[in-house]
Chain A
Amino acid sequence: MPVLEIQDLTHVFPDGAVAIAEINLKVNAGEFLVIAGPNGSGKTVLALHLNGLLRPTRGKVLLDGEPIDKNIIAARKKVGLVFQDPDNQIVGQTVAEDVAFGPENLNFPPAQVGMIVKESLAAVDLSQFATRSPHALSGGEKRKLAIAGILAMKPKIIVFDEPFTGLDYPGVVQVLKEILRLHKTGHTILLITHELEKVLAHADRLVIMHKGRLVADGKPESVIYRAESYGVRMPLKDGEKVSALTWLK
């Protein structure tokens, strides 16, 4: 059984804009899926449905076979969402306090919250910044803090919305390494990006969205050749293999 299943998902905004239409997708446990598409193709709207932040106009989202609206809190614990702009995601006055936000929402006892914060910060290698203000962090570190905040919820599936936007080269490498480590430790990864050259080598599967529809789905090496016609830059030069598409050495 797939961990995540999207059936006929359609979302129409009150102003009549059809942001996504008839999306069907099955994601297996442990998969590393890249979702690509030009601006406005509905990637973020799709992500917001995966833990019930947006409710579908039609269709449904199943987690482990269960519709997510049966237990929305459970869905939010299972699916961690790392947003595009970490500044909008970080709510703590200090790094540690930000990571504590999630577990405190779940009303865990203070000692347990402290434990989780320690673990999560250690996991992304930010322990030494625990008492710092998040605004003092670099772009890459801010993203890692956002990831730590999500890890504190102990999700099985982690969705990254354009995680490389606005990062310099070391920042991208930092975040990419973190994502790969999470994949290795058993998390299912959905990564939204149009910068395929940075990450596609590590993906099991590539999905392309275009004008709210899912237009291609399959192995990266077969789907990649259709990317350009849907407004995603084709990152391969003649004779290059998909395995060259990474910013890690």
Chain B
Amino acid sequence: MTLFHYIHKDTVLHRMDGRLKLASLLLFSLAAGFASDLPDYLAPLSVLICSVLLAKLPFTVLLKEMRFFGVIILIVIVVNAFTFPGDPILKSPFASISRQGVIAGLRFAGRLSIVLLVSTVITGTTPLTRFRDAIEWYLRPVPFVPEARVATMINLTFLLIPVLLDSFKEIRNAQNSRCGQLRKNPVKRMKYLVFPLLGQTLRRADEIVNAMEARCYSEVRTKATFKCKKTDWFLLAISFAVFLFVLL
């Protein structure tokens, strides 16, 4: 699986300042929301395809892994086409396809493609830590939000997910080797999975807290440093231009 995973390369996009990247992500998402006619969709999409190439991400592999989303898009288009009331393109006594339905479906497809591509580019070129640091930076001026704590929480969450998944698999395997899968009652089955996992998680959390305390955990800590280059601003300007183009 490479989709939505960081792929280490040395390109302008990989080196781009995380804060500006986050801003670009926002601009593209807004553009996806505001887009209305065909050029509105084509402009962000073509810029994004260029960025995939610029970032040297494995285009064909990513496309293959996006098949799943392709199926969703197709289903949405079909469902919309048949259920949306409007001028029929194709008439039959059982079902009819409406023009408005097809357009609504295509719109959704366009939006989803933009969001999908921008997420691919951003996650493919940004290590999680850079994201976290950027979020922390944006939170600095916000009153009553302890940005260091939020950053630590983001960090721990992403750290724990793979560990918990592993534990979950192990618990399930252990139970299935005692034929746990034969239990019919799904509530009981969940109970036997969830409680051990929960217990383990709480104990683990306890130990992590201890280990962090042992290394003097403090929220008054060394802050991440950022390097903002001219090319980064240029890339942000492109994102902004795309946004304006769609908006106007």
Contacts of B207 in A (CB 8 A): 83, 85, 88-89
Question: Which chain A residue lies CB-closest to B218?
Answer: A105
**B71 contacts the other chain (Cβ, under 8 Å)?**
no
**B222 contacts the other chain (Cβ, under 8 Å)?**
yes
**Per-residue CB proximity of B194-221 to A under 8 Å, as 1/0?**
0000000000100110111111111011
Contacts of B88 in A (CB 8 A): none
Jot down 26 A-B pairs with beta carbons below 8 A, ordered by A: A48-B210, A51-B214, A53-B213, A53-B214, A76-B216, A80-B214, A81-B214, A83-B210, A83-B211, A88-B207, A89-B211, A91-B211, A93-B129, A93-B155, A101-B212, A103-B222, A104-B221, A106-B221, A107-B221, A107-B222, A109-B222, A110-B223, A110-B224, A110-B225, A113-B222, A153-B216
CA distance A209 to B103 in the complex (A): 76
Whether the pair B215, A76 counts as a contact (CB closer than 8 A) is: yes
**A149 contacts the other chain (Cβ, under 8 Å)?**
yes
Return A224 CB to nearest CB of chain B, in Å. 30
Name A residues whose Cβ lies closer than 8 Å to a Cβ of B. 48, 51, 53, 73, 76-77, 80-81, 83, 85, 87-91, 93-94, 97, 100-110, 113, 131, 135, 149-150, 153
CA distance A245 to B220 in the complex (A): 46
Known A80-B214, A105-B217; further 19 A-B contacts with Cβ < 8 A: A73-B216, A76-B216, A77-B216, A87-B204, A88-B208, A93-B129, A93-B159, A94-B127, A100-B222, A101-B212, A103-B222, A104-B222, A105-B221, A106-B218, A106-B222, A107-B220, A110-B223, A110-B225, A150-B215
**B94 contacts the other chain (Cβ, under 8 Å)?**
no
Whether the pair A76, B163 counts as a contact (CB closer than 8 A) is: no
Contacts of B159 in A (CB 8 A): 90-91, 93
CA distance A97 to B213 in the complex (A): 17
Whether the pair A91, B222 counts as a contact (CB closer than 8 A) is: no
Highest count of chain A CB atoms <10 Å: which of B210, B217, B220, B223? B210
**B162 contacts the other chain (Cβ, under 8 Å)?**
yes
Return B14 CB to nearest CB of chain A, in Å. 13
Give the 10 A-B CB pairs with smallest separation, nearest first: A88-B207, A104-B222, A102-B215, A89-B211, A105-B216, A81-B214, A105-B218, A104-B221, A93-B129, A76-B216
Return B104 CB to nearest CB of chain A, in Å. 41
CA distance A109 to B207 in the complex (A): 28
**Per-residue CB proximity of B36-54 to A under 8 Å, as 1/0?**
0000000000000000000
